[in-house]
């Protein structure tokens, strides 16, 4: 695989720094011109020949090929410094090999779940019974519990990050922003409509509040709401956040 990738990358593509910056702009303000830049100029970034892009994240690109390794997907990701140091700590590198460099860009592989996301599953199956929905949600809860048992906070539980296999069994599939529960989390990470209150209040930098796996449980409740009501939390009580308010929130975050 490394030889294949080295021989097929186009070296004229932009740097990972520029790519990550544009994706960050896209996620914060997807209605401005940065969205077009990501879709047009960067949609083929880091894509080996024979592969196609399945999706973009804040720190990664998900790739798949029907020609090579058709049963798996590959995620090209960039580590931030805290994750890089955590890997060094786990491997004992900081103690035994302090001068050993660990690449902060890497590929990971996972099975391809051809049924797609939970979002698509709910939209494509509008006649699911309450019992069928509860069974799916129960399976999701078991998956999350298993991850929590390994002291990991997922921090971005939402229907788009839950994939279904050929047997319609759900799997959580995005660990880009996950952290160990032993490290109390304080930053604002995740999708706003699925954030727990203690996470979202850190947006305003008035008082930082640490959070843990309980914040994931709140997000699970928001997923359950979506499965049954097909809408975002609170959207039936308040209108969607106006563009001006989003700009105000982002402005306050930078104060």
Report the catalytic residues: 156
Give the other-Cβ count within 10 Å of 72's Cβ: 13
Question: Which residues are 211's β-sheet partners?
Answer: 185
d(CA 160, CA 144): 15
164, 128 in Cβ contact below 8 A?
no
d(CA 170, CA 172): 7
> 């990991």: which residue's tokens?
152
d(CA 246, CA 239): 13
d(CA 99, CA 42): 34
DSSP string computed for 64-88: E-SSSSTTEEEEEEE--HHHHHHHH
């Amino acid at each position: 695989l490394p030889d294949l990738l080295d021989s097929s990358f186009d070296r004229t593509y932009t740097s990972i720094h520029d790519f990550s910056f544009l994706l960050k702009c896209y996620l914060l303000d997807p209605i401005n011109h940065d969205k077009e830049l990501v879709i047009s100029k960067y949609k083929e970034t880091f894509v080996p020949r024979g592969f196609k892009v399945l999706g973009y994240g804040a720190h990664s690109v998900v790739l798949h090929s029907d020609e090579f390794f058709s049963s798996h997907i590959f995620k090209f990701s960039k580590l931030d410094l805290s994750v890089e140091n955590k890997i060094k700590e786990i491997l004992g590198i900081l103690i035994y090999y302090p001068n050993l460099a660990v690449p902060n860009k890497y590929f990971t592989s996972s099975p391809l779940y051809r049924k797609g996301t939970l979002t698509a599953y709910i939209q494509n199956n509008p006649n699911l019974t309450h019992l069928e929905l509860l069974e799916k949600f129960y399976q999701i809860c078991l998956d999350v519990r298993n991850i929590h048992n390994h002291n990991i906070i997922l921090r971005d539980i939402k229907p788009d990050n839950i994939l279904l296999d050929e047997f319609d069994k759900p799997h959580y599939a995005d660990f880009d922003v996950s952290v160990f529960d032993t490290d109390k989390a304080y930053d604002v990470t995740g999708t706003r409509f699925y954030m727990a209150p203690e996470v979202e209040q850190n947006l305003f930098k008035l008082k930082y509040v640490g959070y843990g796996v309980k914040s994931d449980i709140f997000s699970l409740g928001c997923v359950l709401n979506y499965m049954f009501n097909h809408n975002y939390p609170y959207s039936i009580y308040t209108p969607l956040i106006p563009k001006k308010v989003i700009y105000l929130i982002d402005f306050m975050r930078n104060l």
